[in-house]
Chains A and B, each alone.
Chain A
């Protein structure tokens, strides 16, 4: 009888254990799938942009430049891995592999045995994922983009180090401590703060066992941190304060969040044992699973960076890179309050589809300013592309070099240098960039494709409809500029071809500068047989409001005239109520009049 009961208990225990393992596997699968979807699908454009905004060259000079800084080896490896985000799913896969290893190390170090406590060990990983995908507009700033990888990799190395120290210490505590201290200090050189951080994890892990040892470990952590940082700052000639926490980016957005994350990791390491006993009694497997899923979703939803315009801009940049102008126009259709960058990419697409005059004003008139501490962010997002595809190749080069120096070297700008050099026929310069891009992992074939044009750069232009227009519309006159917007620059030319003159007229109008537009229009008498409707609307309104009737010089259609009269009548009811007027007169959206009256004055210097 006793024997039967024992057997029964043992069977139940086995069933429980089996169920627990199955649930854990399910949990892991769910987590992997979720992370892959979140990174590789939802954040695909973000990952692509991250790699495009970074640079990795397979040469000795580049390796020396990167490695010779605090945590340089970690940055170098991270930059290498970041390249794989060229294929976002592949990049996501590598990142998720790191998550699994990180979770495993957290489980091992916290000695989590129950399903509930094991699943909790994945929470810090969730925070890692969120911080990796939450750079937002900061990615255009001068930050070391590979931080998104080095953060994960550094934590992983740190935890592995802690585990190794523990194994060594089992053999000999004194020897182990000296070894741990020495290794952590020296590793500051290669992996930065993550070297000494392993001692901090060691210290918090020891708190429950022996407070005295925990204090000793903590003291060693502090010593290793300062000694390591002093060593690296001396070797690499940097401020001690900069070396201390390198390669953490000294960045105002993420700092509190990341330090919070470290605290979570630390707490988990310390409380692993406690969690086992607490959670085992309080929570069932299903409840813990549910809680984990809900919490993960909530964290991802509330903590992640979900700025729709930011995402749209990333997509537009990618589409522009492939010159998919239809894709650009499709993407901007759903935008309600565009940023200046979104408007700029739309203008490029319209221009290259020859739809600028017809469709320019058929777009939301209320613009949104980018919410960023980085005051020059608007330039970073679109100026190199905007000037390039609007045929101001030299000025695109100027802005590209400006961003290259101010916000960091990257693949994207290097490719722009190459394109510009080929269009300008400067083959020696183009060759330099081809040779460098050939040293990259995923942009090498692109560079090799361009090698054929070195002997005949004209072919480069002839083989591509977009480049043909870019080259054709390059202004023949040379003017000297500094930081003016494109419209102002177009106005500085004495002689412009018809395509550029139309750009000048339309962009002037788009920036609500009616006086300049009319002044320019008088110089464009032979440009049109009949003015585009958006221009007709303005001169009709002008004739109605002033004594000067330009409709005698530029004939207008009856239909447009009636529309303007109708709009003018309706708009007179909302003279002091633009917000209400914008809603009430929505049917006129798409006309230049609606844009002039209700458009956001923040559209400037496009």
Chain B
């Protein structure tokens, strides 16, 4: 009997507790007043197109509210209800979201946002997201770095899983940055993967003890890709889509700071050439080794038969002239059998119109060429005149992708997804200072719409992040090597690349640019 009483007390207490708890839990509003206004949300997912495999587009409602709620209704069925947390964040349940997307492919999702003020629920004008059947590559790799500086800060390369919204670090220089004895240039940059063998990847670890950290066929190596004929190390990489080759530009990079300008910093090259690294033979050979031209930003055509790149005739010796540095887009045929190069062809002439075209990227289906157009320069991430352009490779028609670009801020550095249906572009449209990735859906005609900001499981991630996304690139396979794998390779001696330069090549001082450059006699 005593036991029964105790048990009864337990049950009553439990019921009362759960009732008390449930009375504290916010409920979805049963009635509300229409505000006839759009909700002020961040990130701005209103009326964007989302890929069918994207993670939940979590967002928060700006302003002070007593409570918030969200109802997502699929055009073809399924509904999700989300109660906002104390900071008005809407974090959508991943399985429910996946189900919703799967059931509404090709349709739209309607988002009804509710907010409670002074005891009254308000209902904002609904907005839509269109679910595209075109899936996006699962992974996005990028570097997180502060906007502008000279020394080496805390830099890391990260990988985001676009299907789950999770982010993981690939490699960071945190240890080297922390230790005052080794706080020299310890940059980490240029992470990229081979298009058709995405398990092969590379990045640089710069500075003393640094090198190209190459993951190839499951092995990690540290390579010194600079041979005695080169005036600088290798910089911007481009993996051949199938073969064991990486084309690099070799650049003497400078940067200047403005004393009173909207563009705070201007990175530019004093000199640049192109080289090819044969991974299996561990050999570096020249591609373009010219005296009065600068070649940079290589990128392969999807079939690997052409290498696209930038060329500038501009030559200058002092910082102040960087605005005269204008680039055209060229391509050069590559003969896989003989490993030989053909004659360069002009693809897009920008300099004659006093403009600069950089970062040529051909879509994997070979139909379009996306590039950055700006008033000047090569590294246009900090250049507010930079916009994304697209060329139809069949008609050669070029147009500014105004539907994707921001009106006043830099839209630069982009990459195509494997299926050619999505473009990622880094843009500083949010606050003018910190670039963020945006995904633009590209249709058969090469047209797009309002781009989708990168979703995160924590909706305020990009608002709170004090770093830039840099060198954003898609990958269909994750990085499997660990931080420890990379660290152990960094601590080992480098493997020196062999020279594939002709014997008569030597390093000579360049009387025009002031740089030391290789010249073929």
Within 8 A of A (CB), among B153-210: 153-154, 169, 172, 174-175, 177-181, 183
Whether A480 and B259, one on each chain, are in contact in the complex, defined by CB atoms closer than 8 angstroms, is: yes
Would you call A547 an interface residue if the criterion is a C-beta within 8 Å of the partner chain's C-beta atoms? no
A499 → chain B closest CB, angstroms: 15
Whether A480 contacts B266 in the complex (CB less than 8 A), given A141-B180, A237-B484, comes out as yes
Bitwise, A346-372 to B at CB < 8 A (1) or not (0) is 000000000000000000000000000
Task: Flag if B148 contacts A398 (CB, 8 Å).
Answer: yes
Q: How far is the CB of A326 from chain B (nearest CB, A)?
A: 30
CB pair B150 A482 closer than 8 Å = yes
The B-contacting residues of A in range 395-434, CB under 8 angstroms, are 395, 397-398, 401-402, 404-406, 409, 426, 428-429, 431-432
At the interface, yes or no: A250 with Cβ under 8 Å from chain B? yes
Chain A min CB distance to B168 (Å): 10
* Bound-complex Cα distance A399 to B319 (A): 19
Given A242-B178, A405-B149, A478 contacting B258 (CB threshold 8 A)? yes
Does B333 belong to the interface (CB within 8 Å)? no
Does A583 sit within 8 A of B, measured CB to CB? Answer: no
Interface bits B419-451 vs A (CB < 8 Å: 1, else 0): 000000000001111100000000000000000
> Complex Cα distance A397/B152, Å?
16
Residues of A within 8 A of B179 (CB): 242, 250
* A residues near B146, Cβ cutoff 8 Å: 401, 404-405
Task: Provide the A509-545 mask, 1 if CB < 8 A to any CB of B, else 0.
Answer: 0000000000000000000000000000000000000
Q: Is the CB of A62 within 8 A of B152?
A: no
Instruction: Give the A-B contact count at a CB cut-off of 8 A.
Output: 128
Query: Is there a chain B Cβ closer than 8 Å to A597's Cβ?
Result: no
- Stretch of B118-126, B218-226, B342-350, B461-469 with 4 or more beta carbons under 8 angstroms from chain A: B461-469
Contact across chains for B151 and A482 when beta carbons are under 8 A apart: no
The residues of B that contact A394 with a CB separation of less than 8 Å are: 257-261, 264
Residue A436 is within 8 A (CB to CB) of chain B in the complex: yes
- Determine if B243 is an interface residue (Cβ-Cβ < 8 Å): no
Residues of A within 8 A of B466 (CB): 409, 436
Name which residue of chain A comes closest to B318, CB basis: A480
CB distance from A507 to the nearest CB of B (A): 16
Q: Which residues of chain B are within 8 angstroms of A143 by Cβ–Cβ distance?
A: 180
Shortest CB distance A417–B (Å): 9
Residue of B nearest to A143 (CB): B180
Q: B259 near A402 (CB under 8 angstroms)?
A: no
B222: min CB distance to chain A, Å: 16
Q: Does A301 contact B (CB under 8 A)?
A: no
Given A480-B266, A480-B320, A251 and B259 contact (CB-CB distance below 8 Å) = no
A482 to B254, CA, bound (A): 10
Q: Does B76 contact A (CB under 8 A)?
A: no
Residues in A with CB closer than 8 Å to B322 are: 480
Q: Confirm or deny: A59 has a beta carbon within 8 angstroms of a beta carbon on chain B.
A: yes
Also in contact, A250 and B431, with CB within 8 A (given A237-B483, A482-B257): no
List the B residue with the shortest CB-CB distance to A477: B260
Contact across chains for B482 and A142 when beta carbons are under 8 A apart: no
Q: Report the Cα distance A432→B482, complex, angstroms.
A: 34
A392 in contact with B259 given A250-B179, A435-B463, A482-B319 (CB within 8 Å): yes
Chain B residues whose CB sits within 8 angstroms of the CB of A62 once the complex forms: 464
Does B487 have its Cβ within 8 Å of any Cβ on chain A?
yes
Q: Is B460 an interface residue (CB 8 A)?
A: yes
Determine whether the beta carbon of A242 is less than 8 Å from that of B431.
no
- The reply to whether A429 and B460 contact each other, CB–CB distance below 8 Å, is no
- Total chain A interface residues with beta-carbon distance under 8 A: 49
Of B264, B265, B320, B464, the most chain A CB neighbours within 10 A belong to: B464
Kindly state whether residue A238 has any CB partner on chain B within 8 Å. yes
Give the contacts of A362-396 with B (CB-CB under 8 A).
Answer: 374, 392-395
By beta carbon, the residue of chain B nearest A431 is B431
Does chain B have a CB within 8 A of A474? Answer: yes
Chain A residues with Cβ below 8 Å from B169 are: 237
Residues of B within 8 A of A409 (CB): 466
Expressed in whole angstroms, the minimum distance between the Cβ of B84 and any Cβ of chain A is: 15
Residues on the A chain within 8 Å of B152, using CB: 405-406
Query: Given contacts A234-B484, A401-B149, A483-B150, is CB(A250)–CB(B264) below 8 Å?
Result: no
Chain B contacts for A395, CB-based, 8 A: 257, 259
Smallest Cβ distance from A142 to chain B, in angstroms? 6
B261 close to A406 (CB less than 8 A):
no
CA of A397 to CA of B149 in the docked complex: distance in angstroms?
A: 10
Whether A252 lies near B180 (C-beta < 8 A) is yes
Q: Which of A232-246 contact B (CB under 8 A)?
A: 234, 237-239, 242
In the complex formed, the residue of A with least CB distance to B148 is A401
Pick the contact of B175: A242, A252, A402, A435 (CB < 8 A): A242
CB contact between B432 and one of A61, A402, A428, A435 (< 8 Å): that residue:
A428
Interface contact A239-B487, CB-CB below 8 Å: yes
- Do B180 and A142 touch (CB < 8 A)? yes
| B8 CB-CB contact with A under 8 Å | no
Known contacts A62-B464, A237-B169, A397-B264; A406 and B151 CB within 8 A of each other? yes
The digit string for A54-95, where 1 denotes a CB below 8 A from any CB of B, is 000101111000000100000000000000000000000000
Residues of A within 8 A of B17 (CB): none
CA distance A237 to B258 in the complex (A): 38
> Which residues does chain A contribute within 8 Å of B458, judged by CB atoms?
60-61
**CB within 8 A of B177: which of A142, A481, A489?**
A142
List A contacts of B264 (CB < 8 A): 394, 397-398
Tell me, rounded to whole Å, the shortest Cβ–Cβ distance linking B63 to chain A: 13
Question: In the assembled complex, which residues on chain A have CB atoms less than 8 Å from the CB atom of B175?
Answer: 238-239, 242
With the chains together, A431 CA to B177 CA distance in Å? 29
Nearest-Cβ distance from residue A427 to partner chain B, whole angstroms: 9
**B147 contacts A by Cβ under 8 Å:** yes
B257 touches A478 (CB 8 A): no
* Known interface pairs A402-B149, A436-B466; A480-B432 also in contact (CB < 8 Å): no
Report A422-456 CB contacts with B as 1/0, cut-off 8 Å.
00001011011001100100000000000000000
B134 → chain A, closest Cβ, in Å?
30
Given the known interface contacts A61-B458, A237-B172, A480-B319, the answer about A436 and B464 at a Cβ–Cβ threshold of 8 Å is yes
Chain A residues lying within 8 Å of B148, measured Cβ to Cβ, are: 398, 401
Residues of B within 8 A of A237 (CB): 169, 172, 482-484, 487
How far is A380 from B520 in the complex, measured between Cα atoms in Å?
A: 46
Bound: A189/B179 CA distance, A: 20
**Which A residues lie within 8 Å of B432 (CB)?**
426, 428-429
Contact call B484/A428, Cβ cutoff below 8 A: no
The answer to whether B431 touches A428 (Cβ under 8 A) is yes
| A476, B258: Cα distance in complex, Å | 12
Of chain B, the residue at the smallest CB distance from A414 is: B466
CA distance A479 to B260 in the complex (A): 7
| In the assembled complex, B256 has its CB within 8 A of some CB on chain A | yes
A475 at the interface (CB under 8 A from B): yes
Residues of B contacting A474 in the complex (Cβ-Cβ under 8 angstroms): 260
**Nearest chain A residue, comparing its CB with the CB of B320:** A480
Chain B residues in 8 Å Cβ range of A238: 174-175
- Cβ-defined contact, A250 with B260, below 8 A: no
* A residues 208-248 in Cβ contact with B at 8 Å: 234, 237-239, 242
Contact of A59 among B265, B431, B460 (CB under 8 A): B460
Give residues 21-72 of A contacting B (CB, 8 Å).
57, 59-62, 69
**17 A/B residue pairs, CB under 8 Å, sorted by A:** A57-B464, A60-B458, A60-B460, A61-B465, A142-B177, A142-B180, A234-B484, A237-B484, A238-B174, A374-B180, A405-B153, A406-B152, A426-B432, A429-B432, A429-B433, A478-B261, A482-B255
Q: Which B residues form the contact surface with A (CB < 8 A)?
A: 146-154, 169, 172, 174-175, 177-181, 183, 255-261, 264-266, 319-320, 322, 430-434, 458, 460-461, 463-466, 482-484, 487
* Closest 7 A/B residue pairs (Cβ): A405-B153, A237-B483, A480-B256, A432-B431, A61-B464, A478-B261, A480-B319
With contacts A398-B264, A404-B146, A436-B464 known, what are 20 further pairs, Cβ within 8 A? A61-B461, A141-B180, A237-B172, A242-B175, A250-B178, A392-B259, A394-B258, A394-B264, A397-B264, A398-B257, A401-B149, A404-B153, A405-B151, A405-B152, A406-B149, A429-B432, A432-B433, A480-B257, A481-B256, A481-B257
